[in-house]
């Protein structure tokens, strides 16, 4: 477990880093400019040498800082996790320093965050989409993107020409499948939330 001494000495060493209160594991707020230094220090001096996850959050269009990047580190010596939360200062074209030179595992995680949220990781060796195709114009996990999708041409123009197919918004009849966060586990399993509308049931707003 991480003890208080560790946290205090780390906060003394990095004066811009602040502590955030979370019940599960120690969470630190760190600005984008300090991230590389903090990661290097944690990996080499504090034995946090395993990058468990790196992802992003969209706090919504009205938030003061819309995007943040969250990483989880694990130390086999402390036997504990450490979460680092960093705000992206630019809401329009969010940027973030890549940590893939420190943790090679971050390479694909950052590509996924770029693909889904449009966060540009500077100095990334190969920043391109990982799940959607290269020409896809949207970032699907942003709050303003509808689950059903937006009409777009198919990735292959010749196939689209022959089949007359395009990327269409999915019908929401019998869907989407969503999990409720409360209740017992058997109750909170993903269920079909029927968002189709007919003469009897009104269109959900």
Instruction: Please report, as ranges, the residues that interact with another protein according to CB under 8 A.
Output: 131-133, 138, 140, 145-150, 154-156, 159, 162-163, 165, 167-177, 192
**What Cα–Cα distance (Å) separates residue 117 from each residue in 62, 78, 82, 109, 111?**
16, 32, 23, 12, 10
**Phi-psi domain of 143 (left: phi exceeds 0; alpha: psi -120 through 50; beta: other):** alpha
Closer CB to another protein, 31 or 140, in the complex? 140
Cα(26)–Cα(11) distance, rounded to whole angstroms?
Answer: 12
For residues 173 and 204, which CB has a smaller minimum distance to another protein in the complex? 173
Cβ 156 to another protein, closest distance in Å?
4
- Residue closer to another protein by CB (options 126, 148) is 148
C-alpha distances in angstroms, 97 versus 35, 47, 108, 134, 143? Answer: 7, 22, 14, 22, 23
Nearer to another protein, 11 or 154 (CB): 154
Cβ at position 96, least distance to another protein in Å: 24
Question: Between 104 and 146, whose beta carbon lies closer to another protein?
Answer: 146
The minimum distance between CB 106 and another protein, in angstroms, equals 23
Q: Which residues contact 2 (CB under 8 A, 6 or more apart)?
A: 26, 78, 80, 82
How would you classify the pairing of strands 67-75 and 18-20?
unpaired
Smallest gap from residue 130 Cβ to another protein (A): 11
Closest approach, Cβ 166 to another protein, in A, equals 9
Is-contact 53 42, C-beta < 8 A? no
């Amino acid at each position: 477990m991480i003890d208080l001494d560790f946290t205090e000495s780390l906060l003394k060493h990095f004066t811009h880093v602040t502590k955030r209160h979370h019940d599960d594991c120690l969470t630190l707020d760190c600005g984008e400019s300090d991230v590389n230094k903090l990661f290097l220090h944690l990996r080499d001096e504090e034995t946090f040498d395993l990058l468990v996850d790196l992802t992003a959050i969209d706090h919504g269009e009205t938030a003061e800082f819309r995007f943040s990047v969250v990483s989880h580190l694990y130390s086999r010596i402390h036997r504990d996790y450490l979460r680092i939360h960093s705000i992206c200062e630019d809401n329009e074209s969010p940027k973030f320093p890549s940590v893939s030179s420190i943790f090679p595992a971050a390479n694909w995680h950052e590509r996924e965050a770029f693909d889904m949220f449009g966060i540009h990781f500077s100095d990334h060796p190969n920043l391109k989409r990982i799940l959607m195709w290269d020409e896809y114009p949207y970032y699907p996990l942003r709050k303003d993107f509808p689950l059903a999708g937006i009409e777009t041409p198919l990735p292959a123009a010749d196939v689209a020409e022959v089949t007359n197919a395009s990327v269409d918004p999915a019908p929401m009849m019998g869907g989407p499948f969503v999990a409720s966060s409360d209740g017992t586990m058997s109750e909170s399993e993903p269920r079909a939330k029927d968002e189709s509308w007919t003469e009897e049931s009104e269109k959900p707003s």
